[in-house]
């Protein structure tokens, strides 16, 4: 989502889909797979002229993410929430390490976003980050194991696991059959961001897709359904959903 650069239309759609699942008692967990916060003001990229027109400060980002978490917990009080740290949240630790190491042990993502008080499980970013969904053989991590053009295929063939990842903002799915007859699945999960927000001006490309995953689970059986959002619209479960640019999770 890269708050404050989230796409409100896309968020509105995601919550509408979640509402339908929640009403049918089918929504047991929401996994926030990293880069919920952008931490633009802690970046190490060179500043561009457009940066000086961005008025959102670090304290604003922290407030907005907390309001977002407030909204989720109020809207779905019975749903487990899992927070997987992304490389953008890790900007905080990198910044403290390089700029003010004396504060490294005093500030962290769980405390800024009150994750302990909220009883939200937190999984830190890093090469060993790997979250198992329920008791299935499907896993989640923020970054792919390979950033190549065919990153999903590389994930499967390098690590031999079923994996959903974020980070790239791209959509890819891949399923292969091994010599032993086992199927392996991978998905690059898109994003829920405003592509035109100036905080992305430093990026060389925006070949991105908006969307999110809904994972159905029955015991150890699972199936991932990628919900693709195009022009503020999607179809899910036989119904069309549209989002409003005026959606505001801070209200």
For residue 127, being part of any structural domain is answered with yes
- Helix 8-23 with 58-75: angle, nearest 10 deg: 20
Short-list 2, 12, 17, CA closest to 215:
17
For residue 122, being part of any structural domain is answered with yes
Q: For residue 162, what pLDDT is reported?
A: 97
For residue 72, being part of any structural domain is answered with yes
Domain enclosing residue 38, as ranges: 8-231
Res. 205 pLDDT band, cuts 50 70 90: confident
Cis amide linkage into residue 4, ω under 30° from 0: yes
For residue 244, being part of any structural domain is answered with no
Q: Are 210 and 191 in contact (CB under 8 A)?
A: yes
For residue 239, being part of any structural domain is answered with no
Q: For residue 148, what pLDDT is reported?
A: 86
Mean pLDDT of 208-216: 97
Tens digits of residue pLDDT in 127-144? 999 999 999 999 999 999
* Region at 105 (left for phi over 0; alpha for psi -120 to 50; beta for the rest): alpha
| pLDDT over 80 at 47, yes or no | no
Task: List, in order, residues 6 or more apart from 107 with CB less than 8 Å away.
Answer: 92, 96
Mean pLDDT of 222-244: 96
What is the count of structural domains for the chain? 1
Mean pLDDT of 9-21: 98
Res. 46 pLDDT band, cuts 50 70 90: low
Mean pLDDT of 68-97: 96
Kindly report the average pLDDT of the chain as a whole number: 93
For residue 169, being part of any structural domain is answered with yes
Short-list 72, 69, 74, 1, CA closest to 33:
1
CA gyration radius, the chain: 18
For residue 241, being part of any structural domain is answered with no
């Amino acid at each position: 989502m890269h708050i404050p650069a989230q796409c409100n239309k896309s968020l509105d759609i995601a919550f509408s889909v979640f509402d339908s699942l929640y009403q049918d008692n089918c929504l047991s967990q929401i996994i926030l797979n990293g880069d919920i916060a952008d931490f633009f003001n802690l970046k190490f990229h060179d500043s561009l002229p457009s940066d000086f027109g961005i008025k959102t400060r670090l304290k604003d980002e922290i407030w907005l993410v907390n309001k977002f978490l407030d909204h989720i917990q109020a809207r779905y009080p019975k749903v487990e929430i899992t927070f997987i740290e992304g490389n953008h949240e890790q900007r905080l630790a990198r910044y403290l390490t390089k700029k003010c190491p004396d504060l490294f042990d005093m500030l962290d993502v769980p405390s800024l976003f009150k994750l302990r008080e909220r009883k939200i499980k937190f999984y830190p970013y890093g090469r060993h980050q790997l979250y198992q969904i329920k008791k299935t053989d499907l896993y989640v991590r923020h970054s792919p194991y390979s950033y190549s053009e065919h990153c999903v295929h590389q994930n499967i063939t390098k690590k031999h696991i079923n994996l959903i990842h974020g980070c790239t903002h791209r959509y890819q799915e891949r399923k292969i059959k091994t010599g032993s007859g086992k199927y392996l699945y991978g998905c690059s999960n898109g994003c829920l961001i405003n592509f035109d927000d100036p905080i992305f001006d430093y990026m060389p490309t925006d070949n991105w897709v908006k969307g999110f995953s809904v994972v159905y689970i029955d015991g150890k059986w699972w199936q991932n359904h990628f919900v693709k959002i195009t022009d503020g619209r999607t179809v899910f479960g036989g119904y069309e959903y549209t989002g409003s640019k005026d959606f505001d999770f801070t209200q």
